[in-house]
Amino acid sequence: MAARFLSGNLLTLLNSGTEYFPALIKAIDEARHEVHLESYIFEDDATGRAVADALSRAAQRGVTVRVLVDGFGARDFADRLLPELLAAGVQALVYRPDIARFQLRRHRLRRLHRKLVAVDGEIAFVGGINVIDDLNTPHQVPPRYDYAVRIEGPLLTPIQQALHRLWEIVLWAKLNRRYRLLPTAQKEPEARGEQTAAFLVRDNIRHRRDIEEAYLAAIAAASEDIILANAYFLPGRRFRRALQDAVKRGVQVVILLQGRIEYRLLHYATQALYGKLLGAGIRIFEYRRSFLHAKVAVIDHHWATVGSSNIDPFSLLLAREANVVVKDRKFADELRRSLRQAMQNGARELPFDSWKRLPWHSRLLRWASYNLVRILVGIAGYGGKR
């Protein structure tokens, strides 16, 4: 489905939790009518507690507060934070709870990976930042590297619709009669700025490939350069071919990827692709200063995206995701400068022959990891040439 671009928005790029959480808590504390939050992870740590406290304060002063978290990503939420939120009057649900960790059934792998917030129909947040402290990662000193966008303007309408629609779906699935999404006449948000953007979701019904197709269309139209930053990067053949074709047209393609090992299987599977990508003329940087969790891109100084969707089978084929796509030079250039700074200060570029210099057993390990991921995706029922 083609992206619906809306003008008149005011977008603020937020770099990591140090900028995101103060803005989020301020918006919640100033809420008058409604706060609606979705998150893959909602951790019981200093940051999670601060957000939970803000949500409780809002509910106690009469604001309708709804929280939806994923049953796998936030698997401790029901025992640790949920009772206090419910006691404060917050409405909270868990998406697909009680998941067995190694179960490969298709429906079990369909996770809620979105990170969305809407406040009073006036402010929204979209991005890749979970409700978790930036320092809540073993062996990490600098903060986790990620992005979100604060949004005011007409783009609030599709964001709110997506939040309400999924809430109703989960209510129906649980036959929950306690919570009801009361029909309210919502006025159209007024223009707040001059930026044009679209809100895209990925689900398993009408919007299966909306985010991927938006990427592919922008890559196909690129004439100058492409910068991608992804925490988990395991693209299918169409995506890899699109990047390679861009290089052949004279476009400079740069990819910023995870340098530290968080999930070994995905880490090594991604590295199995390095040889072909580097051989095609694509530049690869590995971010090593901290854990990279960003899912963003900038193309030709005027197209940018920030969201929750990685370029891997789990985001593009299984999970519920949400991205903002922005057509605005000022926003794109700000994100570009931030990515360039990250590459300069926290990343290392891989030399062209880095793959060839690896011992044969290291290359074998990476290809075995790549093929194992493909097998797991196939078992889940999502094989095919992509």
Which positions are annotated as active-site residues?
113, 115, 120, 293, 295, 300
3-state SS record for 113-129: CCCEEEECCCEEEEECC
Among the listed residues 193, 172, 192, 189, the one whose alpha carbon sits nearest the alpha carbon of residue 181: 172
210, 305 in Cβ contact below 8 A?
Answer: no
Residue position matching structure tokens 């402010």: 123
Distances from the Cα of 231 to the Cα of 208, 220, 227, angstroms: 21, 23, 14
Q: Cβ contacts of residue 92 below 8 Å, gap of 6+?
A: 66, 67, 68, 69, 82, 85, 86
3-state secondary structure of 80: helix
The three-point CA angle 196-197-203 to 5° equals: 165
Report residue 35 as tokens. Answer: 């706060």
Phi, psi for 49 (deg, rounded to 5): -65, -40
Element (H, E) at 10: strand 6-15
The three-point CA angle 129-134-139 to 5° equals: 130
DSSP bridge pairs for 68:
38, 93
Report residue 364 as tokens. Answer: 């074998």
Distances from the Cα of 116 to the Cα of 119, 197, 249, 286, 385, angstroms: 10, 16, 37, 28, 31
